[in-house]
Amino acid sequence: MRTMNDQKKEKKEMERKKSYGMLIIGAVLLIAGILFAVYAYNTSYQESVALGAQLSELKAQANAVKEGTAEGDAEALNAQISALSAEKLGLERPYSYGLVAVFFAILLTVKGICNALIGVRSSEKADVRRLAQAGLLTALCYIGFAFFKIDIPAGTEKASFHFGNVFCVLAALLLGGYWGGLAGAVGMTIGDLTTTYVTSAPKTFLLKLCIGLIVGLVAHKIFRLCRSHSPKYVTGVTVLAAVCGMGFNVVADPLVGYFYKTYLFGVPQDITSILVKISALTTSVNAVVAVIAASVIYLALRPALRKAGLFVEI
């Protein structure tokens, strides 16, 4: 039987204390992010739109020269295209940074509201293993996207085949929806911000976070994958959770991408329509790869992590 001290200790651990710090930080960051995003959109991003029009004309001219239907210096045109592309990318960064800050602030604000209404456990401590694994998987998400991808151009925009989603799903399977989603969101957002996909960074943050939350919800909240189960059960739940997360992405990525590019970035609808079609293809292929690869890696890592005492209980 439990002693009186054990009961008091358990009661103390279950006590929750309301906290308002994260809510205040999130609200301040949200206001600052919105103001900065609006300012960047009306200044540097509008300049990038004008450069985009010039860039499209130069690319059309370069293609005409290449096909022999027009005269010109192809080498000089390509140099101009490279210079304008770099300048355009630099002008797009501030607005993308502002939108990422807004989405991140919304996440902090929602978490802060939960802390204010529900409270946090007074005895809750940071799990070093989870933090270390989250950092490692964040880096893997970045590497999987930034270095293992095939670009597909569409006008002045791009889509790609990549391996980033593999580690996003794996992170949620290993760490749960919240930490896994953050690992995927942060890692792949950094990948966007440091490459030519800078304008996709805010959308990436939102969608990869949602992938992690869905995979974590199915795997750990509904089917309790972190507990001991038969190999057949673990395999089935792992594949199901990965399919649910990537199934969401197959539907949401083109749909969100269309409204995101059209209304937040003002990309012409004809280009956006082409991007949606390409995105639907690349997202579907990425989803199949992610489900297979993440499931295989997780099923291989699970017993090894348990044996080494590094398995995170969720």
**DSSP secondary structure of 28-67:** HHHHHHHHHHHHHIIIIIHHHHHHHHHHHHHHHHHHHHHH
Identity at 117, one-letter amino acid code: L
| pLDDT for the residue 143 | 94
* 1 pLDDT higher than 50: no
Q: How confident is the model at residue 294 (pLDDT cuts 50, 70, 90)?
A: very high
Number of folded domains that form the chain: 2
Report pLDDT for 38.
96
**Domain presence at residue 7:** no
**pLDDT, tens digit, 9 for 90 and up, residues 157-183:** 666 788 999 999 999 999 999 999 999
- 259-278 pLDDT, tens per residue? 888 888 877 777 677 777 77
DSSP codes, 133-181:
HHHHHHHHHHHHHHTSEEEEEETTEEEEEESHHHHHHHHHHHH-HHHHH
pLDDT at 123 over 60: no
Instruction: Say if strands 149-154 and 157-162 run parallel, antiparallel, or are unpaired.
Output: antiparallel
The domain boundary, picked from 101, 125, 149, lies at: 125
C-alpha span between 107 and 90 (Å, rounded): 27
Over range 203-217, report the average pLDDT: 96
Which pLDDT belongs to residue 231?
Answer: 92
Residues 167/184, Cβ–Cβ less than 8 Å: yes
In which band, very low, low, confident or very high, does the pLDDT at 49 lie, cut at 50, 70 and 90? Answer: confident
Q: Which domain holds residue 117?
A: 14-125
Pick from 150, 157, 151, 47: which is nearest to 95 by CA? 47
* Most confidently modeled range among 24-38, 79-93, 111-125: 24-38
> Which residue's entry shows tokens 């960051």?
29
pLDDT over 70 (residue 156)? no
Q: Based on the domain organization, do 236 and 168 belong to the same domain?
A: yes
Contact call for residues 253 and 279 (beta carbons, < 8 A): yes
Domain boundary among 98, 125, 152: 125
8 located within any domain: no
- Type of residue numbered 185: A
Q: What CATH number did the domain enclosing 279 receive?
A: 1.10.1760.20
Task: For residues 212 and 191, give the distance between their C-alpha atoms in angstroms, rounded to a whole number.
Answer: 17
User: 150: Cβ–Cβ under 8 A, 6 or more apart, which residues?
Assistant: 160, 161, 162
In a domain, 115, yes or no: yes
Mean pLDDT score of the chain, rounded to an integer?
Answer: 87
pLDDT at 126: 56
The reply to whether 199 and 102 lie within a common domain is no
Q: Is residue 9 part of a domain?
A: no
Tell me the average pLDDT across 135-148.
Answer: 94
User: Among residues 171, 118, 179, 178, which one has the least CA distance to residue 140?
Assistant: 171
**Model confidence at 3: pLDDT above 80:** no
